[in-house]
A and B are shown apart, each in its own frame.
Chain A
């Protein structure tokens, strides 16, 4: 007998009455989700920017130290930053090593935890959100939802696909519970609400 059948049969030997699925609780409502998003983002170590258009955002980013210092960067957001690497020409994610900064589109933000949903389909290479040393995510204005419960109402997977919530920069507290920013992924995470 193959293992799949063996496992399923072992599980079926315990015949449980079906327990019903509960309704989801009514989640908290923040009066000003965008302000809450900014607060949450700061609390998880992120940097918050608010810009009316790409030009304004570009000048704001110029004042962000890791952006200003970046030797090599890529941007997938038109009019913001520059691309020193032709992403359409590479297929090996290892070539992303050495990038100092990446500017990527975020689909929406989540007010309760400062997370931004990054769709795999928007990235030519999945590693773009984690390999570059610093990260900026650009989220369209009006695209901030209240909680994760609201967030999953906006997400669907049909067949293959990748997506990730990014909430602030990479971090660890594995040495004596001391918080250190910049574990393996981005050393800083700037989120800009644009529009």
Chain B
């Protein structure tokens, strides 16, 4: 199923689609308030973009520096070429130590690798501990947004889910009550866990440390109670110096949720006393993305989700409509790089308005890349025939001014005189959820030719 079909399902529930749109726009506005509060905001974005570009230009060197320093600090660094190897390494670490109870904090990489089902099939209980992720885990779903995993769910649905799994009162849907219930339920899991797994927001080459940011404190519970900490990161998480965090921590939370900082920004260099720290460094398609000149800059992404909150298409079509682990504008660039045929509809799930590029804290040229993808997909003949034909027709019309003028006249005539049933028939996608504009009496060109020069 492509994006348009999946999105049609989402918008079928008008009230929910509207709520989703407003909820994300609210986050976008909070982000704006934080961004506008800092006079150096635009400079920070440029600086972050340049640090990332620099790092990407010397990735092997920084990876080796990171490994050296992480090892010196007492961590064990593992390397995984792909998802399968990543899962195998994590499972080996756990099984060699007899771990059967694992608590996880948010990691989009482990979603990408499908780690949970891999471990569960091998007898390890995996508990996602971010509240939003726990909600979707209990529901047997995937996150619909990388920062707000359960944004597609209403509190009443969460109430039903918690009643069933956590024994909360039937019909209760107060967020404070439900969060308190989850706190109690997950605290038991934290205390019982034998190992904790986290993602990585930033890995510092200079010091060999990894940095994890959360608001809930779930990564901290999961890495300070059980003695074993496994941190999984894509190769692109590197930054050269500790001081670079001064730039990135100022951008991340402001862009993600409109907070001046995440509640917890934890820096891990080596394990806790008597414990173990394992860092799994994963490629899984990233070296191929590095080789793709047009899309290389997508490696700079710090996974803040700002492009999703601002995107008029994401807000109105929901994360699931993208059929990918990372949805939204950034996902629509990353996913076709993995599997162009499967994700061919995603670069078209955009109005190319450029709002994503405007809010991106690391200045990824998202909308330009989406446009570039459309060209690449057309070359690979992965664009549906109808769309290809329409594009050919448009190209013909735009190259012939007389044809264009004629088309305008015919269009204006039909808008006025065609019966409604015909005008809003199945053939006209533009008339499905909206009224067509009233046809003007004269075209712009006619107005311009008839203007009074005085």
Residues of A whose CB lies within 8 Å of any CB of B are 2-4, 6-8, 10-14, 16-28, 40, 43-44, 91, 93-94, 97, 110, 112-115, 125-127, 129-131, 147-153, 155-157, 159-178, 180, 182-186
Contact = CB atoms under 8 A, between A and B. Distances in A.
Interface string B242-267: 11011101100100010111111111
Contacts of A185: 216-217, 220-221, 263-264
A168 B60 contact: no
Interface residues of B, number: 96
A24 B273 CA distance: 35
A174 B150 contact: yes
Contacts of A168: 263
B274 interface: yes
Contact of B50 (A22, A165, A171): A22
Contacts, number: 260
Main secondary structure of the interface of B (DSSP, over half): helix
Given A11-B59, A127-B224, 7 more contacts: A7-B283, A14-B291, A24-B47, A110-B261, A112-B38, A163-B266, A170-B264
B40 A16 contact: no
A182 B186 CA distance: 13
Contacts of A171: 215-216, 263
A157 B242 contact: yes
B50 A21 contact: yes
A21 to B, nearest CB: 5
B43 A8 contact: no
Contact of A182 (B80, B179, B272): B179
Given A19-B53, A130-B220, A159-B72, A4 B79 contact: yes
Given A147-B250, A167-B262, A171-B215, A177 B27 contact: yes
Given A14-B287, A170-B217, A172-B215, A7 B132 contact: no
B246 A174 contact: no
A176 B421 CA distance: 40
B44 interface: yes
B126 interface: no
A146 B218 CA distance: 28
Contacts of A26: 40, 43
29 contacts: A6-B81, A7-B235, A11-B60, A21-B50, A21-B51, A21-B54, A22-B47, A25-B44, A25-B247, A26-B43, A91-B273, A112-B250, A127-B224, A131-B224, A149-B247, A149-B250, A159-B72, A159-B74, A159-B269, A160-B73, A167-B259, A167-B264, A170-B217, A171-B263, A174-B148, A175-B158, A175-B178, A180-B176, A182-B179
